[in-house]
Amino acid sequence: MKLKVALDLDRAGKDVAAAIRALLARERVLALNLIGSPGCGKTALLEATLPELAKTHAVAVIEGDIATSRDADRIRALGVPCHLINTGGTCHLPPNLIARALQDVDLASTDILFIENVGNLVCPSTQDVGEDAKVAVLSLPEGDDKVLKYPRLFREAGCLVLNKVDLAGVLRFRREQLASDLAQVKHGLPVFELSALTGVGCPSFLEWVRGLYQKKCGRPTVPGRRRKA
Amino acid sequence: MAGAQPPGLGTRGSGVHELTLAQSLVEAVLRETEVRPPAPTPLPVGEGQGEGPVRRVTAVRVAVGGLTHVEPENLKFWYEELTRGTRLAGTSLLVEKRPTRVRCQRCGREFAVLANSFVCPDCGVADVRLASGDEVILESIEVEE
């Protein structure tokens, strides 16, 4: 005899993600989930852009790392509030850990929250943590073949940051390969070619972030003011 | 977080992916095969196990979406490990891998994703919304009469 069940075994995780999304909407916070390989420059991208973004928006960061506070220390050195999650080995940030971290984030004083995921092109892409968009970060030294090798991230992403373009002269990175792979996975994905080291290209990425914020939340909190209106 | 209610906190979501999933699966199968009068609120997970009448399970059917990164053999391995010594020991886990399905935002056609191409066969453009493929579903449980 067959018992019909039809139960989604990840219902609990999806429910937590939905609760986070509702909370962030109520608190008028834009959340961006940065995903990329170890060493692709996720923290460097934040270092290169947060000081500029902080002039117009109140920013905060949740850092996910298996071990150490190295990335969190770099963010705090910018004067940006940063909550560190050491996963102890888990390869991604699941929604329940984000929900717990959000209890320590002053959302009332935050416009834009960056979640820097654990360095990994695979598992973080499968996790909805209630973010508004995933930001895929790929760097030139990783190679031009990654989009079709790790399609889920690039399909889920709201934009692609192509970092370390300052190394283009010493690498053989075929942009046409990247473009044709992206066309198979996600038409029209915004691509920001930049160098977090030199700063070239960063303003376009910031313009995209500010545009998303405006679309979701309208006018930002005046920096320095403690609470939103 | 003034005035904001924190979303519910789970204890799961870490460790080996198929292990976590197998834990949810075993709990769900045990829960679904308890025979009890309809209760107003479900018992907490794990409670009631080994007490009261239960249905004898022979097989469990699970459908895995193509986007989930769940490896069927690995899921079966953990299911077998976790059910050892329980009343589910020796039951078969049947895992069906289902292709990801998407819907073209331009023409509305729904199609299965093959070889990781999200390009619509009609429009020639990858501009799609996910229809299904991001789920692991406990479909049904075979029990003795």
In this predicted structure, the answer to whether residue B46 has a pLDDT above a threshold of 60 is no
Is residue A129 helix, strand or coil?
Answer: coil
Place of tokens 């990247």: A178
pTM: 0.88
Place of tokens 């023409």: B107
- Res B11: pLDDT: 38
In this predicted structure, the answer to whether residue B48 has a pLDDT above a threshold of 90 is no
- Res B51: pLDDT: 60
In degrees and rounded to multiples of 5, residue B81 shows phi and psi of: -60, -45
C-beta separation of B33 from A17 below 8 A: no
Chain B CB within 8 Å of residue A184 CB: yes
C-beta separation of A131 from A104 below 8 A: no
C-beta separation of A142 from A89 below 8 A: no
- Res B6: pLDDT: 43
What is the enclosing helix (H) or strand (E) of A84? Answer: strand A82-86
Whether residue A4 and residue B143 make contact (CB cut-off 8 A), yes or no, is: no
- Res B41: pLDDT: 62
Q: Report the residue of chain A nearest B16, measured CA to CA.
A: A90
In this predicted structure, the answer to whether residue B45 has a pLDDT above a threshold of 70 is no
Contacts of A181 in chain B (CB under 8 A): none
Domain contains B8: no
CATH for B59: 3.30.2320.80
Is residue A140 helix, strand or coil?
Answer: helix
Domain containing residue B24: 17-32+55-143
Q: Report the residue of chain B nearest A101, measured CA to CA.
A: B6
Spatial separation of the C-alpha atoms in residues A155 and A159, rounded to whole Å: 10
Considering only CB atoms, A9 lies closest to which of B9, B28, B127, namely B28
- Res A89: pLDDT: 87
pLDDT tier, B8 (very low <50, low <70, confident <90, very high otherwise): very low
Spatial separation of the C-alpha atoms in residues A136 and A183, rounded to whole Å: 16
C-beta separation of A55 from A134 below 8 A: no
C-beta separation of A163 from A139 below 8 A: yes
Q: One-letter amino acid identity for B92?
A: S
Domain contains B83: yes
Tell me which of A8, A187, A226 to substitute to probe the interface with B (most B C-beta atoms closer than 10 Å): A187
A219's tokens: 């006018």
| Domain tally, chain B | 1
Domain contains B68: yes
Which CATH number describes the domain made up of A14-213? 3.40.50.300
Q: Report the residue of chain B nearest A95, measured CA to CA.
A: B13
Task: Write down how long chain A is.
Answer: 229
Tell me which of A1, A2, A3 to substitute to probe the interface with B (most B C-beta atoms closer than 10 Å): A3
- Res B7: pLDDT: 47
- Res B116: pLDDT: 86
pLDDT tens, chain A, 229 aa long: 999 999 999 999 999 999 999 999 999 999 999 999 999 999 999 999 999 999 999 999 999 999 999 999 999 999 999 999 999 988 999 999 999 999 999 999 999 999 999 999 999 999 999 999 999 999 999 999 999 999 999 999 999 999 999 999 999 999 999 999 999 999 999 999 999 999 999 999 999 999 999 999 998 866 654 455 4
Q: One-letter amino acid identity for B1?
A: M
Contacts of A108 in chain B (CB under 8 A): 1-4
In this predicted structure, the answer to whether residue B56 has a pLDDT above a threshold of 50 is yes
Give the dihedral sign, CA A46/A49/A51/A55: negative
Spatial separation of the C-alpha atoms in residues A77 and A44, rounded to whole Å: 13
Q: One-letter amino acid identity for B117?
A: S
In this predicted structure, the answer to whether residue B123 has a pLDDT above a threshold of 90 is yes
pLDDT tier, B12 (very low <50, low <70, confident <90, very high otherwise): very low
Contacts of B60 in chain A (CB under 8 A): none
- Average pLDDT over chain B reads 85
Percent of chain B at pLDDT > 70 equals 78
Spatial separation of the C-alpha atoms in residues A76 and A33, rounded to whole Å: 18
B50's tokens: 């080994």
Task: Write down how long chain B is.
Answer: 145
Q: What is the pLDDT of residues A77-108, one digit of tens each?
A: 999 999 999 999 889 999 999 999 999 999 99
In this predicted structure, the answer to whether residue B3 has a pLDDT above a threshold of 70 is no
Q: What are residue B92's DSSP bridge partners? A: B59
Question: In whole angstroms, how far apart are CA A90 and each of A36, A63, A209, B48?
Answer: 15, 14, 28, 31
Domain contains B62: yes
Those residues whose C-beta lies under 8 Å from the C-beta of residue A163, and which sit 6 or more positions away, are A40, A41, A44, A45, A137, A138, A139, A140, A194, A195, A196
- Res B53: pLDDT: 84
Considering only CB atoms, A19 lies closest to which of B1, B8, B127, namely B8
Chain B CB within 8 Å of residue A10 CB: yes
Whether residue A1 and residue B126 make contact (CB cut-off 8 A), yes or no, is: no
- Res A101: pLDDT: 97
A151's tokens: 């399609």
